[in-house]
């Protein structure tokens, strides 16, 4: 993986590396539909997982607070299928036009949660490849 050392966007990648390092769940896969890395995990680790996610992606919106979110966040929510009850859209401040976000989606079975991490804005194929490499998620 190539480093982006010295660029403003390095802060974005540092946060994602820390999330990967501290993630309590299992392995990651690539969600080609949403161009995100994805991990499904049991609710038994929900507190540790949410803490790791919020450290890297500290801004969170739910179904009720999304109406007050910035327009690009509302657009992202619409593009990714909306934010339903119990779901969260997490994000980090945009850096150089690049936004990293997380989709926190509890399953209806109430024992599993899926968490997806993606990029929006001026994300390039190189950014997506770096994200895939970082999380060990391959096609």
Nearest to 15 by CA among 119, 97, 139: 119
- So what's the pLDDT on residue 5? 46
The pLDDT profile of the chain, 139 residues, written as one tens digit per residue, is: 344 444 557 888 999 999 999 999 989 999 999 999 999 999 999 999 999 999 999 999 999 999 999 999 999 999 999 999 999 999 999 888 899 999 999 999 889 999 999 999 888 899 999 999 999 998 7
Please tell me the predicted confidence (pLDDT) of residue 7: 56
Helix (H) or strand (E) holding 17: helix 10-22
Judged by phi (left if over 0) then psi (alpha if -120 to 50, else beta), residue 58 lies in alpha
Distances (CA, A) of 82 to 11, 63, 64, 105, 132: 27, 8, 12, 11, 24
pLDDT of residue 42: 96
Both tokens assigned to 116 = 């997806």
Q: Which helix (H) or strand (E) holds 138?
A: none
| Alpha-carbon gap, residue 26 to 47, rounded angstroms | 15
- Is 20:26 a contact under the CB 8 Å cutoff? no
pLDDT on residue 8: 55
Q: How many CA atoms lie within 13 A of 98 on its CB side?
A: 19
pTM, 2 dp? 0.91
Phi, psi at 69, each rounded to 5°: -75, 155
CA distance 51 to 94: 20
Q: What pLDDT score does 6 carry?
A: 46
Report pLDDT for 34. 95
């Amino acid at each position: 993986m190539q480093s982006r050392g010295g660029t403003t966007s390095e802060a974005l990648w540092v946060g994602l590396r820390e999330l990967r390092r501290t993630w309590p769940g299992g392995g990651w896969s690539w969600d080609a539909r949403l161009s995100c890395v994805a991990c499904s995990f049991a609710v038994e680790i929900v507190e540790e997982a949410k803490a790791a996610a919020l450290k890297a992606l500290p801004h969170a919106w739910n179904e009720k607070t999304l109406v007050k979110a910035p327009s690009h966040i509302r657009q992202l929510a619409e593009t990714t299928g909306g934010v339903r009850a119990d779901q969260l859209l997490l994000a980090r401040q945009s850096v150089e036009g690049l936004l990293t976000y997380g989709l926190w989606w509890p399953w209806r079975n109430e024992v599993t949660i899926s968490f997806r991490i993606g990029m929006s804005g001026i994300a390039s194929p190189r950014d997506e490849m770096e994200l895939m490499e970082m999380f060990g998620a391959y096609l």
